[in-house]
Chains A and B, each alone.
Chain A
Amino acid sequence: MSSIRLTDYEPIVGRQTLEELYLLAEGLRGRRIKMVNSTAVGGGVAEILNRLIPLLNDLGISTQWTVIKGGEDFFEVTKTIHNALHGEQISFPSRMKEIFLEVSRENLKYIDLDQDVMVIHDPQPIVYVEAREKTQAKWVWRCHIDISHPDEEVWDFLRGFVEKYDVALFSSPRFSKRLPIPQFLFFPSIDPLSDKNKELEPEFIEQLLERFAISQDKPMITQISRFDRLKDPVGVIKAYRMAKRYVDCQLVLAGGGASDDPEGEAVLNEVRTEADGDSDIHILLLPPTSSLEINALQRASTIILQKSIREGFGLTVSEGMWKKKPVIGSAVGGIPAQIIPNLTGVLVHSVEGTAYQIRYLLSHPEMSKKLGDYGHEYVKERFLITRNLKRYLLLFYVLSHPGERIIHF
């Protein structure tokens, strides 16, 4: 786990922000928190927990992290549940439910429940709440995924567990449900000190562009995402083509996830066919360890795109905004929570709209600069890990004062 200290963030967020965190943490010192999720490495949740947990401990709040253990069959079930919550119609036979319940109950035998707060991330360990009678702890379900249009059968099954929690946390108002328990808004966050977001030396960026044979003489439009139809890479190329009739530019499509994924391979082929040998289109297949490369590509870009058809939260938008880039994003998933139209970015609904906005922003650098500057401020206020940390501290107070709207000390 990272050895980062809270004071490392002072040059970025300022003394006042840290003072607020220390003040809030004072009354929580000694609390025992346990976070549970399904993986220690890989994926956005693990990435956030890797930083968040040391920072909570740094503030004197004793926070542990446990990962649910299961075999292949368990994770096949949880993958099915994940897809169903994203809206895929699936079959959910009783055997699947049994595997899901059995593995969780087995895990529960070995977990130390002597805590003040149990924070359960996503559906995989959701069943843990069955043990709530055995402990004084408050139970929190942190849902990181979009459950606005779930498969009803799967949601009905999970709802029985969700309703046993004290509170639920969602990444966007769009993802919330009518529930009998309080629900709070917890945006995901980016870490300004991570490889993906930290400042880079200009030489490093230049070398990287050279390595990928990307010209430094033309405006660069970039979309960072895996090669997945839901990210609409073909639509991105179409939009670039429409814009290029008016303003010369180049396109970078960079992401991973194709090598072991048959669908990813097919999408990559579609993208290559659509690119049709255009030397200004750079299709970069990056390994999962490419945080520094992604950071450099974003920093070298003139405009960042996130033209998804469906999206979870879409943190690449915040990553682009943090680097003071104008971001054009589709009005789907969590993207509208990050982009206030024409203030912190631009929202679009079509290939044509994307093309028009590329043309507009390339012709109006002063507007691009304004969007980039405001975007950076907005991320600083809402989507940095320090803000996430603050939300957790506030939550711990709220859990001790259920039903109160104003908690006065």
Chain B
Amino acid sequence: MNPFYFYTSSTLVELTGEKANTLEELLTLLKECTGSAIFYHVFQSYRERHFAIEKYHSDFAQWISASLDEEPLAERLGALDVRDFTSIRELREAILRIIESHLREHPQCRDRKGKTPFFFCQSVSIIMPTKYIAQDLRDFYQIFGSIGIRSIHYHLVEARLRLGIHTNDFSHWFRTSLNKEKLAKRLEDIDIYLHTLEEIREIILQDVQEEIRT
């Protein structure tokens, strides 16, 4: 059995110097920006606010709602389920399709200036092993209860960039090393947008404890 090595990831936010004032400009920059910028604005930046769940997890939806007052478009972008995509490329294309379709229906909003610009950022991640290693599910339970929140984010959210957007490191280990398919699936089914990372920690701890009992 392979042990589970807990890593932690920290990010430095890079400013691209690019900004969009209108939907048209946002569209242009969305086509040109790096995959890292898409990942940052859809997955990472809202995790800085991990103490609360906001109406929209994606920075794009948030800006379109708060700055442009285009609520229907914000809602459509906010409803994108990341589990439907297997890559950042697909996610980018879906975002572009939704905005383009909105602009076809409402061409008058193409050049309307927002209250504040949208600033494109991207991240540089520094990933390091921690001293924590789980040999089995009991070890995992012990460590998971007190590991830093950045570790949970790394294995649960950032893992999607490496493993494909639909899964995570924990599920991968449960499935491939412990042969625990049901537990792996339960973790994949957690709606990462509807819970804070601390809430997710509790959910996972409960699931693992249940599995240990059975």
Could you tell me which A residues sit within 8 Å of B by CB distance?
16-17, 19-20, 23-24, 27, 170, 173-174, 176-179, 182-185, 331, 336, 340-341, 343, 374, 377-378, 381-382, 390-391, 394-395, 397-398, 404-409
Contacts and interface: CB of A to CB of B under 8 A. Distances in A.
B49 A340 contact: yes
B128 A184 contact: no
A340 B65 CA distance: 13
A395 B126 CA distance: 10
Contacts of A336: 116
B161 to A, nearest CB: 8
A310 to B, nearest CB: 15
B49 A185 contact: no
Contacts of B18: 178
Contact of A407 (B19, B115, B126): B126
Given A398-B124, A404-B124, A184 B12 contact: yes
Contacts of A183: 14-17
Interface of B: 8, 10-19, 34, 36, 48-52, 54, 66, 115-117, 119, 121-130, 146-150
Contact of A23 (B15, B50, B115, B128): B128
A174 to B, nearest CB: 7
Contacts of B8: 20, 23
A23 B147 CA distance: 13
B52 A407 contact: no
A16 B149 contact: yes
Contacts of B36: 405
A17 B119 CA distance: 28
A381 B124 contact: no
Given A183-B15, A184-B14, A394-B12, A378 B51 contact: yes
A331 B148 CA distance: 33
Contacts of B117: 174
A185 B10 contact: no
A176 B19 CA distance: 10
Considering the complex of A and B, which 4 residue pairs feature the smallest CB-CB distances, nearest first? A173-B119, A377-B51, A16-B148, A185-B13
A3 B54 CA distance: 40
Contacts, number: 97
B49 A394 contact: no
Given A173-B15, A179-B17, A408-B127, A340 B116 contact: no
Contacts of A409: 126-129
A343 B49 contact: yes
30 contacts: A19-B148, A20-B8, A24-B126, A170-B15, A173-B19, A173-B119, A174-B119, A176-B119, A178-B17, A182-B14, A183-B15, A185-B13, A185-B14, A185-B15, A331-B116, A340-B54, A377-B52, A381-B50, A382-B48, A391-B12, A394-B10, A394-B126, A398-B12, A405-B36, A405-B125, A406-B124, A406-B125, A406-B127, A407-B127, A408-B127
Given A397-B126, A404-B124, A20 B148 contact: yes
B12 A395 contact: yes
Contact of A20 (B11, B124, B146, B150): B150
Contacts of B16: 183
A374 B51 contact: yes
Contacts of A395: 12
B35 to A, nearest CB: 9
Nearest to B147: A16
Given A23-B128, A176-B119, A343 B17 contact: no
Nearest to A370: B52
Contacts of B129: 409
B42 to A, nearest CB: 16
A20 B147 CA distance: 10
B126 A184 contact: no
B148 A398 contact: no
B17 A407 contact: no
B127 A381 contact: no
A406 B122 CA distance: 11
